[in-house]
Chains A and B, each alone.
Chain A
Amino acid sequence: MPTLVFADNIGGKITKSSLEAVSYAASMGDEVVAVTYGNIDGDGGLGNYGAKKVIVASGVTTQDSQQLTKLVVQASTSVGANTIVFSHDNTGKSIAPRVAARLDAGLVAGATALPAGDEIKKNVFSGKAMAYVKVNTDKKVISVLPNSVGLKATGGSAEVESFSGDLGNAGVKVIEFKPTSADGAIPLPEAELVVSAGRGMKGPENWGIVEDLANVLGATTACSRPVADIGWRPHHEHVGQTGVAIRPNLYIAIGISGAIQHLAGVNGSKVIVVINTDPEAPFFKAADYGIVGDAFEVVPKLTEAFKAFQAAH
């Protein structure tokens, strides 16, 4: 029985988190069929991550949860899939629950590992613990936490089929799309490298050294909540419990004390580096590497050290 994966795209480009969902489904072992919408070039690269077939609803141009739910439900019936996989990104979070409710299927939201037996692991309590969840229904919906399972390129390609069912009208009309970054920076939830700074920077005019470091690394910039609240940085950069939750490979935190609410948004990072003048800053307890020192001295030196490293490798 094939596994169906919903693949999202932005302007025709399949998102990285969706490719991860396809890799996840392929690793489960059954044949993978992906379903997507809009204007996709060929198989959109989905075949390279394990999809054998891609169903494209080219008539759907906006991310309307009702239309996309109908699309996924109809595709699951036509291919006979009992398991449907999503990414647990903003798109997946708006469609996976609708699909689960429509099919009366158990949903594991934010899976961090492949199913082991009939148990699927996920994070709970904002990453402070993990839970093993069992689905009691025959039909299952799994949404995969971004940056938790990785990509597996297979070199394959997929057969493309166009979708022809009736998806009704969009209940939500899109007036405008405002991209977070016009310059093509990687969005925070997908970023593998993140450089973040907080009140220790003393003022918005001092962010130049943070941006220099991020530029050298090709990292996305982020900030702590107080800094976003007082308007030094835009709100979309705020990582933490009430902001964006991130799971990069490397998180460099500069002048951030590490309040528990901040840690809740960044504890999924694989490696955490903390730079702070205060050796008692709580963030050092959650860090892998630390430098006790003044950001205004340490950060430019670190930028130079990364440049020297890149020149040598």
Chain B
Amino acid sequence: MKILVCISKAPDTTSRIAFTDNGTAFDENGVQFIVNPYDEWYALVRALELKETQGGSVTTVTVGGVDCDPIIRKALAIGSDDAVRINTDPKDSLFVAKQIAAYAKDNAFDLVLLGKETIDYNGAVVGGMVAELLDVPFVSFAIKMEVNGSTATLEREVQGGVEVVEANFPLVVSAAKGMAEQRIPNMRGIMAARTKPLQIVEAQDVSTSTTIVRYELPPAKAAVKLVSADNVAELVELLHKEAKVI
């Protein structure tokens, strides 16, 4: 089975979020970048598990500049066989999806796996776009995936519950919590990652369909109002009269 895992760079979950240039650019100063957790913990690790039981290969693809190489090496250390970086600035989700779809089309993958969303732009849309551009089925928010020959059986989170579904390859799957457990790379993996192939691919020339004009931080939160544990009725009054939520 030939698996492609989409890996994106994201700021660490504890990063302080700030902007520069009059709120038009994300301030990367002092920000630690990591592999987007959904891509790493769930998509990549499940891909490696499937390879271990079914045979095949796991390639990662990343749309980005040379600043993405450390997170690509991390994925290689965790266990992917090789990596591709499409060398361009990831301008918006449709732009990224077109780059990934073009590469996937040329290289005939059975399965494209990615995290359910990135923790920076939270769009949860690249997987569906890639599926449409490849004209293949898409299973979103998968929490379980088993493979039998050319058929996958999955559980996915839908409105109001969980659906058990079946689909044939080729297939695009977005992974949510439950698909796999995080793997910490070991020393052997880290050493091996240094020499695993990282291919740099030129980007497709496509237009950008959306532009972020500016960013804004939420207004500072007022200090918490503390209510005595001996007077919880006061809290109920505040929720009714002041906050007006009950």
- A positions within 8 Å CB-CB of B: 8, 10, 15, 17, 63-66, 69, 88-91, 93-102, 104-110, 119, 123-137, 171-180, 187, 189, 193, 217, 235-236, 238, 241-243, 249-250, 260-261, 264, 267, 270-271, 273-274, 284-294, 297-298, 301-302, 305-306, 308-309, 313
Which of the segments B52-60, B78-86, B218-226 contacts the partner chain? B218-226
* In the assembled complex, B158 has its CB within 8 A of some CB on chain A: yes
B94 x A171 contact (CB < 8 A): no
Q: Which residues of B contact A179 (CB under 8 A)?
A: 160-161
- B positions within 8 Å CB-CB of A: 11, 13-14, 17, 19, 37-38, 41, 92-94, 97, 119-133, 136-141, 153, 157-168, 177-178, 207-218, 221-222, 224-229, 232-233, 235-236, 238-240, 243, 245-246
Q: Which residue of B lies closest to A301 (CB)?
A: B232
B210 x A136 contact (CB < 8 A): yes
Q: Which residue of B lies closest to A124 (CB)?
A: B121
Partner of B158, one of A91, A134, A290: A91
New contact pairs (15) apart from A133-B212, A260-B14, CB-CB < 8 Å: A90-B158, A96-B128, A100-B94, A106-B210, A124-B215, A129-B217, A131-B214, A136-B209, A175-B165, A189-B159, A267-B218, A271-B245, A273-B235, A289-B235, A290-B224
The docked-state distance in angstroms from the alpha carbon of A110 to that of B213 is 16
Partner of B245, one of A66, A96, A249, A297: A249
A94 x B159 contact (CB < 8 A): no
Partner of B235, one of A106, A238, A302: A302
B235 x A126 contact (CB < 8 A): no
Partner of A177, one of B163, B209, B240: B163
Q: Which residues of B contact A63 (CB under 8 A)?
A: 158, 163
Max chain B Cβ within 10 angstroms of own Cβ: one of A8, A97, A284: A97
Partner of B17, one of A107, A129, A193, A235: A129
Q: Which residue of B lies closest to A118 (CB)?
A: B213
A298 x B229 contact (CB < 8 A): yes
Q: Which residues of A contact B167 (CB under 8 A)?
A: 171-173
Partner of B209, one of A89, A99, A106, A260: A106
Partner of B224, one of A8, A97, A171, A287: A287
Q: A97-B132, A177-B163 are in contact. Are A133 and B211 (CB under 8 A)?
A: yes
Q: Give, as a whole number of angstroms, the nearest-CB distance from A143 to chain B.
A: 8
What are 24 sample pairs from A and B whose C-beta atoms fall under 8 A apart? A90-B157, A94-B141, A96-B125, A106-B94, A107-B123, A109-B121, A124-B122, A125-B11, A126-B119, A129-B17, A132-B214, A135-B209, A172-B167, A174-B163, A175-B164, A236-B157, A238-B177, A274-B224, A284-B224, A288-B243, A289-B235, A298-B232, A305-B233, A309-B233
The docked-state distance in angstroms from the alpha carbon of A264 to that of B12 is 12
Q: Which residue of A lies closest to B208 (CB)?
A: A136
Partner of A178, one of B127, B161, B178, B236: B161
The docked-state distance in angstroms from the alpha carbon of A177 to that of B163 is 5
Q: A66-B137, A90-B157 are in contact. Are A289 and B232 (CB under 8 A)?
A: no
A-B interface, 3 closest residue pairs, ranked by CB to CB distance from nearest = A171-B137, A293-B229, A97-B128
Q: Give, as a whole number of angstroms, the nearest-CB distance from A6 to chain B.
A: 13
A172 x B224 contact (CB < 8 A): no
Q: Which residues of B contact A290 (CB under 8 A)?
A: 224-227
B166 x A172 contact (CB < 8 A): yes
The docked-state distance in angstroms from the alpha carbon of A200 to that of B54 is 43
Q: Give, as a whole number of angstroms, the nearest-CB distance from B201 to chain A.
A: 20
Q: Which residues of B contact A176 (CB under 8 A)?
A: 163-164
A129 x B235 contact (CB < 8 A): no
A172 x B137 contact (CB < 8 A): yes
The docked-state distance in angstroms from the alpha carbon of A285 to that of B120 is 23
B221 x A125 contact (CB < 8 A): no
Q: Give, as a whole number of angstroms, the nearest-CB distance from B229 to chain A.
A: 3
B212 x A305 contact (CB < 8 A): no
Q: Which residues of A contact B161 (CB under 8 A)?
A: 177-180
Partner of B216, one of A89, A130, A172: A130
Q: A125-B11, A298-B229 are in contact. Are A93 and B210 (CB under 8 A)?
A: no
The docked-state distance in angstroms from the alpha carbon of A102 to that of B134 is 10
Q: A90-B158, A94-B140 are in contact. Are A109 and B177 (CB under 8 A)?
A: no
A97 x B129 contact (CB < 8 A): yes
B160 x A187 contact (CB < 8 A): yes
The docked-state distance in angstroms from the alpha carbon of A174 to that of B17 is 41
B239 x A273 contact (CB < 8 A): yes
Q: Which residue of B lies closest to A249 (CB)?
A: B245
Q: A133-B212, A287-B224 are in contact. Are A271 and B243 (CB under 8 A)?
A: yes
The docked-state distance in angstroms from the alpha carbon of A174 to that of B160 is 15
B166 x A132 contact (CB < 8 A): no
Q: Which residue of A lies closest to B162 (CB)?
A: A178
Q: Which residues of B contact A131 (CB under 8 A)?
A: 121, 212, 214-216
Partner of B19, one of A10, A129, A293: A129
Partner of A132, one of B160, B207, B213, B240: B213
Max chain B Cβ within 10 angstroms of own Cβ: one of A69, A110, A127, A289: A289
